[in-house]
Chains A and B, each alone.
Chain A
Amino acid sequence: MVDRRKTLSWLLRALALGASPAVHIDLAQAQSAQRHKGPLGNRDASPAAPGDHGYGRDPNLLHPHVTWPLTLSAQQKGVVARLADVFLPQIGTSPAASTVGVPDFLDEWISAPYPQQQADRQVILDGLAAMERDAPGPVNGLATAQVEALVARLQSRAVAGQGAAAQFFSRFRNICLVGYYTTLTGVAELGYVGYQPSATFAGPPPEVLARLGV
């Protein structure tokens, strides 16, 4: 079994160093290879635990689907939705996280049988349990202001350098951001324009070049 805490610390360090996501995979695999160290060196760098439920090395790319069982109960998913909506709330026409499927995506993510997701799984499940303990009552029954206060306390603990709070804040927020801004709604809010075949490529428009000063 992968030592999750160690993997996570490596991942966080890699993030701090500004490494690319591919490097995270390298680190996880390097760690996996470590376990097989023998007198003749590293032998059999076994897979980084794809388990039985991974999508495998040759999935149908034209019909993507999640192959692993999910984790969260309806109650837990409700808690994720309440928290996610504080991290990414509805503002005008910009919807709240829960209305674009962020809780389902978080469940998909932490349930995946891969090293990075397994490391996140522990952080998220521990963090959700800690939030429940910290709340004045079941999170699902709280008023919005009470959930906001809960997140504000989490944030101040994270700022104060409390390791578990900082890890949960960082990973929960990152998963919410990815879950939100990779949807077509999120993509439109960020202003990404693409997947538009064209016979020519004109380059950036003049107003953009003016803004860039080039």
Chain B
Amino acid sequence: MAAEPFDVIVVGSGAAGGTAAYALTRAGARVCLLEAGRFYDPRSETPMFERTAVAPLRDAGTPDKPFGFYDATVDGGWVLPEEPFATAPGTEFRWFRARMLGGRTNHWGRVALRYAEHDLKAFSRDGLGADWPFTYAEFSPWYDQAERLVGVFGSNPGLPDQPDSPPGCLQPPPVPRSFERLIMAGGARLRRPVVASHTAVITRPINGRQACFYATPCLRGCSIGANFQSPTVLLPPARATGRLTTVTHAQAYEIELARDGTAKGVHYLDRRTNAHHFIAGRAVLLGASAMESVRMLFNSRSPRFPDGIGAESGWLGRGIMDSTGSNVWGQFPQMEGLPPFNDDGVWLPHVYIPWWAWPEQRAGKLPFTRGYHLELYGGRLEPSADTFDFFDSVSPFSYGARLKQEAQRYYGSFVRLSQRGEMVAREYNTVQIDPILRDAWGIPSLRFDVRWSEQELHQTAHAQQSMAEFIEAAGGKLVAPLPKDPAQAILPPGRIIHEVGGARSGSNPRKSVTDSFGRVWGVPNLYVIDGAVFPSSAHKNPTLTIVAFTLRACNHIQREMRHG
């Protein structure tokens, strides 16, 4: 392997690494992709039509498969015994990993919203965190490309928090489902928008991919390639160039520098055999997932960088973020006992509630400065292990004929509203190398010290109240009263699986780790292309922005390579 002359070594095969492999091989570069997990092919492995009735525990989540037996993630989870991590006293952090080709593009909510100018320049608004090193006008062409590559349905309602896409970028959204129409009616009463979601599922064929056929649960993956997964969307066209070499089971752990200070290549080990390898390239791109890329930088120590590559500014490992998340469940009498009908749709959200109070917030009338949106789940999903979770409250102590009647009555009448909000980047929210802990292969592990601030708690209190208002305005009842303290409602950091930051991009080398292309300051051929580069993280799922950032970085790399 080491003998191959590669132009670019890419670490990770998910949204960042997959996009880089796609863009660079098509531009003529010979790319070696290192993936820590196994080969995975959604076309042959996805349990599309397997029924819940035959899955162990009826597809209930377990530590082995946290989102259910059929979930697309294999060799992943919250707790991987071979890959432990530490948390600082008094803190919690959840870290979901997916050791498989395509990484976490295989399981995600696929909400794909563009950042607005005010998202990129949040620091300029409230003095917290840092601005992104480019404007929306500079970045938006890359969103255009990203949307066309990923395949996103949505609409352009002209909202301040949701930039319109140019014609030809978005696909037509599907019509709303029953429970979504109820919430839309509630929104109309509240004079708050409920609009088409931007979701990474195609409703029209593109790039040889088949359109969604409106059946089977999306989070199992998609054998027809209608949703966005790196192994179906990004890697096949990269492979077709003949310039992609993929090495699976390859755990990258260190970047080696040449005498001239440039990156020479990557040290990795084969997870199955423990054999260590080195692979050289003209450029190295880290897309291992935000926290793994930061870990690799910290673990790449040399006389030139005694604390790790990129650590000179003191910003490596700082400014860790996740999205805020909390839920409120409603029960809707109008949905009780409906006649049978197919309401699966694309399975993922058709509509969502964009951040509507942006003008009020901008005027300083809210006790928090960053926004959130609300997502809707529920309705007439396939009955599953959690369908009856609320029966102790809606039908306590019933049994016999009455229990059967109540099961039919209440099935499909529950809707969950979920907050997804922006967390402010704080210098004190850090990840670093734990002084003791190592993984099963002896690589030093991470230690998280991340906590919510008053900002996130105020936002969550507002979101909880808003979700209750939506449910009640739509004619529903809360399944349980709202917790009095938002700290009880907010999920722990990391739980939304939007963890980003730690190697933030910026225009000042003393205050950031990379430049605006993800190039690590001081190492001109080493790039970070995943969520680690986020200086701030809007309430919008990071994936689309990671793809757009990577496309922009790869364009820069092509130009650099052309100039030698």
Which residues on A are within 8 Å of B, measured CB to CB? 15-26, 28-30, 32-33, 37, 40-50, 54-59, 61-62, 64-67, 86-89, 91, 94, 105, 108-109, 112, 114-117, 151, 155, 158-159, 169-170, 173-174, 177-179, 181-184, 186-187, 189-205, 207-209, 211-214
Contact = CB atoms under 8 A, between A and B. Distances in A.
10 contacts: A21-B61, A47-B79, A57-B77, A61-B70, A62-B45, A112-B56, A181-B383, A182-B387, A198-B213, A198-B342
Interface residues of B, number: 109
Interface of B: 38, 45-47, 49-58, 60-67, 69-70, 74-81, 84-92, 94, 174-178, 181-182, 184-185, 211, 213-216, 220, 327-329, 334-335, 338-346, 380-393, 397, 399-401, 403-404, 407-408, 411-412, 416, 434-437, 447, 475, 479-480, 483, 488, 491-492, 495
Contacts of A49: 63
A21 B387 CA distance: 10
Given A89-B400, A181-B407, A194-B215, A61 B66 contact: no
A117 B57 contact: yes
Contact of B84 (A43, A194, A207): A43
Contact of B63 (A40, A114, A205): A114
Nearest to B175: A203
B388 A204 contact: no
Contacts of B89: 37, 40-42
A207 B339 contact: yes
A196 B90 CA distance: 49
A169 B213 contact: no
A184 B342 contact: no
Contacts of B334: 211-213
B56 A190 contact: no
Contacts of B437: 43-44
A87 B387 contact: no
Given A57-B74, A196-B344, 9 more contacts: A20-B389, A64-B50, A94-B404, A177-B387, A177-B403, A178-B384, A182-B383, A196-B342, A207-B339
A191 B340 contact: yes
B393 A16 contact: yes
Given A45-B84, A212-B181, A214-B181, A88 B404 contact: yes
A109 B383 CA distance: 17
A186 B383 contact: yes
Contacts of B177: 203-204
Given A45-B84, A201-B214, A187 B63 contact: no
A116 B91 CA distance: 24
A182 B10 CA distance: 43
The 8 A-B residue pairs whose C-beta atoms are closest, nearest first, are A191-B340, A197-B213, A18-B480, A203-B175, A21-B386, A41-B89, A177-B388, A193-B342
A6 B119 CA distance: 43
A182 B436 contact: no
A57 B51 contact: no
Nearest to A186: B383
Contacts of B416: 20
Given A89-B401, A203-B176, A212 B182 contact: yes
Contacts of A159: 397
B216 A195 contact: yes
Contacts of B84: 43-46
A87 B57 contact: no
A127 to B, nearest CB: 14
Contacts of B393: 15-16, 18
Contacts of A194: 215-216, 342, 344, 382
Contact of A184 (B51, B338, B404, B483): B51
Contact of A183 (B53, B64, B342, B475): B53
B63 A109 contact: no
B56 A55 contact: yes
Nearest to B60: A21
Nearest to B449: A41
A108 B59 CA distance: 12
Given A91-B404, A117-B57, A192-B383, A212 B178 contact: yes
A88 B381 CA distance: 22
B215 A196 contact: yes
Contact of A54 (B38, B62, B480): B62
Contacts of A29: 63, 78-79
B338 A211 contact: yes
Contacts of A179: 58
Contacts of B63: 25, 28-29, 47-50, 54, 114-115
A2 to B, nearest CB: 11
A98 B42 CA distance: 37
Given A48-B63, A178-B58, A59 B86 contact: no
Contact of B401 (A91, A109, A211): A91
Given A20-B327, A187-B383, A205 B56 contact: no
Contacts of A211: 334, 338
Nearest to B480: A18
A178 B385 contact: yes
A66 B400 CA distance: 29
A112 B491 CA distance: 27
A170 B185 contact: no
A65 B56 contact: yes
Given A41-B447, A43-B84, A205 B79 contact: no
Contacts of B216: 194-195
A96 to B, nearest CB: 10
B464 to A, nearest CB: 12
A155 B62 contact: no
B407 A190 contact: yes
Contacts of B411: 181, 190-192
A136 B94 CA distance: 51
Given A16-B480, A61-B47, A198-B213, A23 B382 contact: no
B51 to A, nearest CB: 7
B408 A189 contact: yes
A211 B380 CA distance: 15
Contact of B69 (A28, A59, A204): A59
B306 to A, nearest CB: 23
